[in-house]
Structure 1
Amino acid sequence: MTEDILQSRWNRVYKLESPTGHVNVRVYDDAEGALFVMLRLVEDALTTAISERGRALWIGAGGGTPKPVYEQLDTLNLPWDKVTLSQVDERFVPVDDAASNTKMMAEAAAPLIAKGMVFETLIRDITDPVVCAEKAEALLRSFNGGEAPMFDLTLLGMGPDRHYASIFPGHPINAMVYDTESLVLPVEPATGGVEPKLPRITLSVKALNRSRRIVLYITGFEKEKALEAAVADPNPDRSPIGAFLAQCPAPVDIVVG
């Protein structure tokens, strides 16, 4: 079913060759077509989870690219009271701050929350990023009786600098994010005016790898070219998303709008 969804509106599909194999990329030359496919992918993943396990747990990225997806979720006919949504990462700011993705996601998905969907931010404490990360990890583990949860769907984004979640090129977190046993990590701001300019909270690679399906959704020519470069050079310090794709055990659908 997923393959039928992906084929329904694409304009072109191609493979990116990488040192570890290849990555399938599906490009939709109109925003409407890409959004249509994204909604079908979300619907398919959540419906399957509810059918097989009685509930669905998914996590999503912030930023402008996925915002229309959250805004259009109300067009899907799902039992939203059986769905929990959390986050891939978040800026360490109050949840009512203009820079907060929690604010954006909660407002965009407000109709679903009214229908019973649970939305859980990673910002569990605003006094200290380390404490916040610890409390966010406890939240994630509470979804699975204290053990690391398995996400039914992970919606990732990518920046033109090849970052994903809050894992940025040149940041010291790249030295630990692939090996740590932690599910959630605090991310210190970078120096020299580069991103991240604010402290952040991010899921680790161990946490993200525990996904039944991952969708990487990007828009625009600049990001498409950045993705091509990242796949060809999966060095975590230069191309975090390339390194993640090279090691990811879960199936990944890459949608470019």
Structure 2
Amino acid sequence: MPLLPGAEPFRHDGGEVGVLVCHGFTGSPQSVRPWAEHLAERGLTVSLPLLPGHGTRWQDMQLTGWQDWYAEVDRALRELRENCSEVFVCGLSMGGALTLRLAAKHGADISGIVLVNPANKVHGPAARALPVVRHLLPSTSGIASDIAKPGREEVGYDRVPLHAAYSFRRFLTMLDRELPQVTQPLLLLHSPEDHVVPPADSARILARVSSRDVTERLLERSYHVATLDHDAELIFEETFAFISRLSAGVGTASRG
């Protein structure tokens, strides 16, 4: 199955500091590629994988679940660890949730994490019905392109596959129990007006993690896909400043 335009994974070999960037549920690397490219242009080694079942058609995602998505970012993290002296992980929405689980499981192998509108729960009455409804309906309306900036669109599915949504819900329930294991420095940026993931999810995450070095930033002009929205440059600059503060290797990273 051919990839949607812009859904290709991205990789840049730079210096000793590596960054893994994770995209969101039903989205693709396109939604976070400017973020990845910004970091690559500043000499960092960057990996932005395409999650299984994404970037083609929503029917393909029906055959995947959280174990597949997590396995892919875990593989990409281990590859970065083999080639870099230290690694940071960044994620948007479900990518933020995957980032949190990597942080909980890999501990000191991750030097810091950056979350943009991270998901903590599948909301609404339909979420409680997913165990049954997923056997009756294959999909529901999509969640892509929640962007305030005119003319910007996210490359993602126009339908949400319900088997995958049910798997995502189970993943978030499990992850919530693991959040106290997250101890790394954390930068969290979130939108007060988000039509996909409410601000309550960010508040819950901040209340549950054990990180002592925590920075929170509001994205006042952006909706959910803030990495393509009015505050994108703020996200990119804050991310690089966060990594630079924590890593002595940034200043000596080569520009590839």
TM range (shorter): 0.3 to 0.5
RCO higher in structure (CA 8 A, sep ≥6):
2
The TM-score with structure 2 as length reference comes to 0.37
User: Which structure is higher in helix share?
Assistant: 2
The TM-score with structure 1 as length reference comes to 0.37
